[in-house]
Amino acid sequence: MLTRMDHKVIRPALEAITVKKAVAIDCLSEAECTQYVEWADSLGYRQARAVTGSETAPVQQDFELNYEIPQDHFFWNLAKSVEKSVGPVVGAHREAAGLSHEPLIINDLIAQRYPPGCRGITPHRDHVSYRFVVLILLLSGDGTFSLHTNREAGVATEVSFSPGQLLLMGAPGISADFKRPYHSVKGVSRTRRTIGFRYDSRLV
């Protein structure tokens, strides 16, 4: 579990996302990816709503998701391992910035699957209740994960993010006055599978 994660790179990654907004680090071996893909595909999926968000700020979506992963599923054990690895570093990072102590609790888990040729998801920001850092584990596939200056796409910056890597994307509370980044996924030609780990402050 997390056999390729080098804990020494987590702190520099967190420091980098204050400016870069999102950074990917190595996490899984090829064998782990293969096994986790099998477990991911054993889940039931539903099609994401084609349009979400508000009337003035619609977000186009074209992928499959599972937002109800059973509590006894392996992916929740994986979430605890990610929390154990990243959480203390997040705490130290916040304390160094003079912020109050609040532990990272991964209490929100989502599996997503992007079939070949899907449109992915247009530029959007994650919910403001997701705290500190949003973590996305890429199990398979291709596609482009990009950051944007605004919802209309604006200037796009592609983030290097490959299967077996864990993306750390900044969220409110990671530093003072952190601005949630707009981001998108597109250009999928091979099935893209991800597991998202988040701390939803509404669930505490």
Query: To 5 degrees, how large is the angle CA 28–CA 32–CA 34?
Result: 120
Distance CA 120, CA 185 (A): 5
Distance CA 35, CA 193 (A): 12
Distance CA 40, CA 78 (A): 12
- Whether residue 153 is predicted with pLDDT greater than 80 in this model: the reply is no
Would 118 be classed as within a structural domain? yes
Residue 152: its pLDDT value, please? 84
Structural domain including 144 reads 7-203
Would 2 be classed as within a structural domain? no
DSSP 70: -
Phi and psi of 97, rounded to 5°? Answer: -90, 5
- Whether residue 48 is predicted with pLDDT greater than 80 in this model: the reply is yes
- Whether residue 77 is predicted with pLDDT greater than 90 in this model: the reply is yes
Residue 188: its pLDDT value, please? 98
Confidence of residue 151 (pLDDT cuts 50, 70, 90): confident
Residue 25 belongs to domain with CATH number: 2.60.120.620
